[in-house]
Structure 1
Amino acid sequence: MPSQPTLRLRRPRPDGAAGTSTRVPWPGRCRRVLGECFALPRRCRVPAAREGPVGRGAERRRTREAGVATVWAVALIGVLWTVALGLVTVAGARVVRHRAQAAADLTALAVAARAIPLGEEACRRGEAVAAANGAGLERCAVVGPTADVIVAAEVRLPLLGLHTVNARARAGPADHRAAP
């Protein structure tokens, strides 16, 4: 029959010198860690003269700093969440800015492609291109074969609400000089 596992207990002496060690059956029936008793059910009683908390870790002294690590951990988590929210807000604004610029570029190209045969009528076609790219056409000017457009896209940012992002683009032949 295999031997029953045991637990080696070290009991320090009150004067701080090395204490004695005892082997007791493991797992013990008594869960309290108080001075002399640990694993024997009948002998595991708190002496009457001793008062204070009972249970695991009761022999440790309480200090004023008990629980400070929890407060620091919660503060650190709060700072990390704030930084993450800021990064998400900035990233969202940059994505909308790039989408608005892409919509402006495509709208200017579409208007410039139809500028010679249609003239100012090409701007109406540019509205459809801007809407297909998630933006609205704010201004459109056609001077000869050159198109100059401004589009606006809306973005809803966390904690900042709804904002409008504008983008400008110009398209036309490279050798044509249009008014700025």
Structure 2
Amino acid sequence: MSGDDRGVATVWTASIVAVLVCAAAFVFWIGAAVTTRHRTEAAADLAALAAASHSADGPGAACERARQVAARMSVTLLTCRWERGDALVEVRAEPSGQPAAAGRAEARARAGPVDWPP
């Protein structure tokens, strides 16, 4: 071997390991963001259903029930309003275990009262 080639394998190996670690971190970050988004959408759906199922108790009590459901699912209820008998909710979730750069997930859902015909 000539003196110019010493240590080349180490440099190549270190470079490949660095690229693999970065790729694994990126895949983890994307997976965590997708999981947060799905959790947020599910929470919005359940909060809207909870509000709609308690519509007979009045808008205030129904929105309080939606807030309780959202809190149990670790999301924040941003809005709860009524439009032509339908509950419209919007929730936000902070990414868990991720840097703030991952961003927040927001979702909206709409549900009508249980006893009203479609």
TM-score, with length taken from structure 1:
0.58
Considering Cα pairs closer than 8 Å and 6+ residues apart, tell me whether 1 or 2 has the greater RCO: 2
The residue type paired with residue 165 of structure 1 is A
The residue type paired with residue 89 of structure 1 is W
Structure with higher strand content: 1
1:104 and 1:149 in contact (8 A); partners too: yes
Match for residue 22 of structure 2 among 82, 86, 91: 82
2:98 aligns with: 157
Note the residue ranges of structure 2 that are not aligned, 5 or more in a row.
none
Question: Which of 1 and 2 has greater Rg?
Answer: 1
Cα distance, 1:162–1:91 mapped onto 2, change above 3 Å: closer
- Give the number of aligned pairs: 114
1:116 and 1:145 in contact (8 A); partners too: no
Note the residue ranges of structure 1 that are not aligned, 5 or more in a row.
1-60, 176-180
1:139 aligns with: 79
Structure with higher helix content: 2
Q: How large is the Cα RMSD of the aligned pairs? A: 1.8
Deviation at 1:162, TM superposition (A): 6.5
Structure-2 separation of matches of 1:174 and 1:167? 26
The residue type paired with residue 135 of structure 1 is V
The residue type paired with residue 157 of structure 1 is Q
Runs of 4+ in structure 1 deviating by more than 6 angstroms, as ranges, are none
Aligned ranges 1:1-180 → 2 under 5 Å:
61-155=1-95, 156-158=97-99, 160-161=100-101, 163-172=103-112, 175=118
1:104 and 1:167 in contact (8 A); partners too: yes
TM-score, with length taken from structure 2:
0.87
